[in-house]
Amino acid sequence: MKDIAGYIREYITNYFHARFYLLTAIFLAVCIFLNYYFNIDENFFDQFERTLLDWPVMSALEAFPFLVTCLFLYLLSLNKQWLRSKDFWVRFAIGFGILGFSRGFYYHQLLFDGWEAADSYFLKRSLYWASSLVHTVFPLIVVSLLMEKGEDRNFYGLIRKKFNWKPYAILLLIAAFFIAIGSFLGEIQSYYPRYTKSGGAAFATNNGIGEWISVLIYELAYGSNFISVEMVFRGYLVMAFSRILGGYVVVAMVTSYCFLHFGKPLGETISSVFGGYILGIISLYTRNIWGGIWIHVGVAWLMELFAYLQNQY
């Protein structure tokens, strides 16, 4: 924990700027309010699902807050070089192109068209999560090979170096405490556990297997998705842009990460800002995303577990 606390202190010392943080906080607060008050994600963005426009719309949605944060840096004269940087715009197009494609990806569903309804529904839901290893992680590995050199070619933190799991275990225990409290909220209980909406029970019955097998399949697939989430946000967005934006990139990343959570419970969206900020700082200094992966997967599974227990009693 001392190392993590040290990273946070050093980061705040070097990169805290009151007006920049205030502008970003107001921007996020307004966007969160508008989205949840008018239910924009469901009433507007959901209409593009499974259409050719889904990819560019999702790319634009995720790129918008990142670019706005960069504009704040420009207006406050904290960093102006990004605007004329070819490297910035190339990385910007690649990163948000991959992220938008990932968010709008539905082609895996074609694999199970024509299958029995119980099997098709469950396998589509499960593969939705696991498919990110193919359409997100693999392309970013290729991008790293093509664009990064020397020590920067660590596949955006995926190569494990000097990983100490103990401080992350402590952070996960702290998170577990707040997750347990949050599980009493009706909004959390209605959204989680995700497994109960996967059709896993019907899949198990239809195939004459124990439901624990369905749970295992779904939760492993669900957990694997957070490898791609960490690789995009704490990996690519932090490491690929840090040479251009410096440490301020962490705040820009956090805004896009917040938008990723639109549609989830409000408390989870707000907490993503703080969680993403801490994990972004750790990634910036360690050049490693495995701590974030373990925490993210652990938090996801704990949300499933606590919500399940709440719904049982």
**The predicted structure's pLDDT at residue 313:** 63
Cβ atoms 226, 137 nearer than 8 A? no
pLDDT > 70: what percent of the chain? 98
Backbone angles phi, psi at 262, to 5 degrees: -60, 130
Span 201-242, pLDDT tens digits = 999 999 999 999 999 999 999 999 999 999 999 999 999 999
Nearest to 263, CA basis, from 43, 27, 24, 69: 43
Average pLDDT over residues 251-274: 96
Q: How many CB atoms lie within 10 A of CB 164?
A: 12
Question: In the block, which residue shows the tokens 């974030």?
Answer: 292
Nearest to 251, CA basis, from 65, 77, 114: 65
Question: In the block, which residue shows the tokens 């539905």?
Answer: 106
Span 52-73, pLDDT tens digits = 899 999 999 999 999 999 999 9
Least confident of 89-93, 94-98, 182-186: 182-186
Res. 1: pLDDT tops 70: no
Measured between alpha carbons, how far is residue 148 from residues 63, 236, 240 in Å?
22, 11, 8
Span 139-183, pLDDT tens digits = 999 999 999 988 778 999 998 767 778 888 888 998 899 888 888
Q: What is the mean pLDDT of the chain?
A: 93
Average pLDDT over residues 122-132: 93
**The predicted structure's pLDDT at residue 28:** 98
Average pLDDT over residues 9-30: 98
Backbone angles phi, psi at 50, to 5 degrees: 60, 35
Average pLDDT over residues 265-286: 95
